[in-house]
Structure 1
Amino acid sequence: MATNATDNGPTQIGATATAPVDGTAAEPPKKFPKGVVLGKDGKPCRSCTSFGAWASQAKATLKTNPDASSTAASTMASAASSSATTLPQRRTDCPADVEQLGRSTWTLLHSIAATYPPAPTPTEQNDLKLFMGLFAKLYPCWVCAEDFQQYIKKEEPKTGSRGEFGNWLCEAHNEVNRKLGKPTFDCSKWQERWRTGWKDGSCD
């Protein structure tokens, strides 16, 4: 569920850390590589940042603090210094970055839509609404979470049937894609993509 940072809140992308507001002496502003998103604690947020930006952060850390040359940090630094035409290599068992987290989350949500009942009971409808509300609060990327909370305030989840929820979720996904400059999906085909498979039998 990756999304762009909004202008409100303490998120900073390729910027400096905020100074204390309690009157204590402020440390010199700390600069982070472009694309690094800070958490609410002012530290880089791994689940809000792409792997490439995180690797650049590790490289910058090694430059300013040579003692931080752990194997993991060295690997990340090496990835960051790889050719601009090649994607950095990464292990498959690392914590999820914002892109991997987003892809996995959309897969889960669309799969929930695909198995949601065609005619849900009032209890099932209420459970789904509660789940979506909690999901929007607990999502690991806090910038994305706040953005999705705003979206569901404006466009309340439609849980009256499988088709209704599937279309609502597809439109929500498209809204995020538009913000990220990605192509949108034809929502008339969401069930082929996530439930039945394509009509040409290529998923069978």
Structure 2
Amino acid sequence: MNPDQIASFLYLALLGAALVFWYVVNNRRSMNKMVQQAALWVLIFIGVIAAVGLWGDIRQASTFSHSVSAETGEITVPRAPDGHYYLTLDINDRPVRFVIDTGATDMVLTRADAEKVGIDLDNTQFLGRAQTANGQVKVATVYLDTVRIGDVTDRDLRASVNDGEMRNSLLGMTYLQRFDRIEISGGKLVLAR
């Protein structure tokens, strides 16, 4: 902790202690009721902390997942609250979440996702270079045995692994151009083969 954080913590601790002291002095005649109210406030505080800590997981697990129609062969992807479109593909029978990026050329995996799908990064050479919004990064070319979404399976697909920091893997145009139609309308992205 830096000095400013320590000072803020001490200030809040003193303020909290003063409030607790005031509350105890004002309610000393009804200690049983005071203990019940204090327990209730502690539970409310713990609940709020838990909700704040889990908020990202709650948002991600909500209704923002894609749907695949077997009849039409369409994949419908709703726009997430952050404005992006996310699609989960099974790569080598492991789910990998991608952000759809029509500005990216390749399908680009993060190092973590590459390891998750079985790519041995210790024996992978990062010889290529790619220009990103954050500057130039090293990349390695890899081949994915299977890429599946719904009933659609592609085999032996070329992809890249980014040696730099990335939050999500990117689903770029080398994969998206496999679809006959890409349409964005009404907060949904539709892919059709």
- TM-score after normalising by structure 1: 0.24
Structure number with the higher helix fraction is 1
In the superposition, the TM-score normalised over structure 2's length comes to 0.25
Q: More strand per residue: 1 or 2?
A: 2
Rg: which structure is higher?
Answer: 2
